Amino acid sequence: MATELHNLSSYDPYTIPWGEGKRIGIVVSEWNYTITGSLLNGAVNTLRKFGVREEDIVVEHVPGSFELTYGAKLLIEKGAVDSVIMLGCVIQGETPHFTFVCDSVTKGCTELNLQKDVPVVFGLLTTLTLDQAKARSGGRHGNKGDEAAITALKMLALRSRYQ
């Protein structure tokens, strides 16, 4: 498994683009908030560490992970953001609901990336257990929120090289 080989919070700080002057939107699911709140804290702290001002971080909460793509779309169209991070957590249960939500969010994120000129970062945990989610939201595997923030900064740098 990938996180067994790489901690989500591990990065070389000298390779991370500076975020000063960037406005970052974060859409976070309220479902599984003990997990998604940790993801949010990780993302915000990492963005701040790399120069994004607190007032340039726009956080919007949505009821569940399925609503992340619509929230991201609104931030792109109405929020004047340079990038959007989608943070959620879906833990597999006894029904196919897990698959439907995960597939929908994945496809929605991809569509936004292809249709809009704003990088949209996939920060959705898709785990089999609560313990796996905890391990990836600040536990032994690091924090997916940190990784999502770094990804947003790197994608903004990539976009700026081609504008």
Structure tokens given for 103: 């597939």
What Rg value do the Cα atoms of the chain yield, rounded? 15
* 3-state class (DSSP) for residue 62: strand
Instruction: Mark whether 97 is an active-site residue.
Output: yes
| Axis-axis angle for helices 33-49, 144-161 (nearest 10) | 50
Q: Determine the Cα–Cα distance for residues 118 and 155; give it in Å rounded to an integer.
A: 9
H or E, element range at 88: strand 83-91
Could you tell me which of 161, 153, 109, 146 has the C-alpha nearest to residue 20? Answer: 153
Tell me the catalytic residues.
97
